[in-house]
Amino acid sequence: MALTVSQLASGYGRLQVLFGISLEVPERSIVSLIGPNGAGKTTTLLSIMGVVKPWGGSVVFNGRDITKAPPYEKVEMGLALVPEGRRLFIEMTVEENLLMGAYTRRAREKMYDTLEFVYTLFPRLKERRRQKAGTMSGGEQQMLALARALMSRPKVLLIDEPSAGLAPKVVNDLFQTIRQLREDMAILLVEQNVAASLEISDYVYVLENGRIVLQGDPREVVENEHIKKAYLGV
């Protein structure tokens, strides 16, 4: 198993957000975590990365307990996050942003090989490599955020709300790219566009009020009456 989260509890200050959630992400798979705003989806990803320190439970990466490891060590091991809101260096060029993603020793060794891979995946980024990130469209910025995470050569990629604010065609192209990445890594996807995420996922967890309330094959979950009403508008 690429990533195993067991009984994870977490929060901010005295506010508990996660109440003992457990999930698994097998190698070369896409696992989606869906749920309403405020359910704890982003907190889950930040707690896995160690940006938010877990209160309890464990995070195991490729058989190794990494619960208490700092974020930079997790990136060096092969865990990467595409954050909500992209968090780009807007005054830096596209290529400078990408090279910032390869700051770990493991990634630097093959930095230019990875750069070519990323440019093959996103030809538009190669065309605009000298352009400042802040002048690009929302779709291009999301490509860059994803590509920057790929520069660290991850084995498990956490992606937070990649489709936010993007046009339907851009979302479709982005999700096809994410599906393609599954050949090389495991992906844990948080996404408000439930229909799109279910379409490319191998497994899905539903998070509500900091607890996993449903899980299963996307084809089964999509037939659940609660999911139809709450997330698909059926």
Write out pLDDT tens, residues 39-63: 999 999 999 999 999 999 999 999 9
Q: pLDDT tens, 163-177?
A: 988 989 999 999 999
Q: What is the pLDDT of residue 234?
A: 56
> Which tens digits make up the pLDDT trace of 23-43?
999 999 999 999 999 999 999
CATH superfamily of 1-78+155-234: P-loop containing nucleotide triphosphate hydrolases (3.40.50.300)
pTM tops 0.85: yes
Average pLDDT over residues 101-123: 94
| Residue 228 predicted with pLDDT over 90 | no
Beta-carbon count within 10 A of 87 CB: 12
Measured CA to CA, the distance from residue 217 to residue 204 in angstroms comes to 6
- pLDDT of 84 strictly over 80: yes
Task: For CATH 3.40.50.300, list the domain ranges present in the chain.
Answer: 1-78+155-234
The yes-or-no verdict on residue 233 having pLDDT over 80 is no
